[in-house]
Amino acid sequence: MKIKVDDLVRVIAGDDRGQEGKVLKVDHKNRKIVVEMVNRVYKHVRRSQKNPQGGRLSKEMPIDVSNVKLITAPGANATRIGYRFNDSGNKERFATADGSSLGEISSDKRTSSTDG
């Protein structure tokens, strides 16, 4: 999945369309992400020792990763993400809108050889 924790994203579909937030959690298996202050629901909790007052807790629920786009800088347009190999041979994420690099994700495995 191309979206990572701590990325700044904008919601492009659903009830929270247009809201921006930081990615708090990524679920690779189900292709869902939890975004800060997006898709909030109320969870009713009973009184207990841990929560002596009880009541309603507001918490974020996961949304599908296809409903968000990455924001490279605050106030910038949302963009898709791609992968490429940079000049030094390392794999990196990049913004498809302007081609700017979003950081390396792995070292080059194409040029490494094993002598047997």
pLDDT tens for 73-89 read 877 899 999 999 988 88
How many CB atoms sit inside 10 A of residue 79's CB?
A: 19
Q: Write the class of the CATH domain 1-72.
A: mainly beta
Per-residue b or e along 19-28, where b marks 16 or more CB atoms closer than 10 Å to that residue's CB: bbbebeebee
* Tens digits of residue pLDDT in 5-47: 999 999 999 999 999 999 999 999 999 999 999 999 999 999 9
Question: Cα–Cα distance between 12 and 69 in angstroms, integer?
Answer: 7
How many CB atoms sit inside 10 A of residue 31's CB?
A: 13
pLDDT at position 100, please?
A: 87
Measured at the CA of 97, the angle between CA 1 and CA 79, to 5 degrees, comes to: 45
Q: Where are the domains of the chain?
A: 1-72, 80-111
pTM, rounded to two decimals: 0.81
Average pLDDT, stretch 63-72? 95
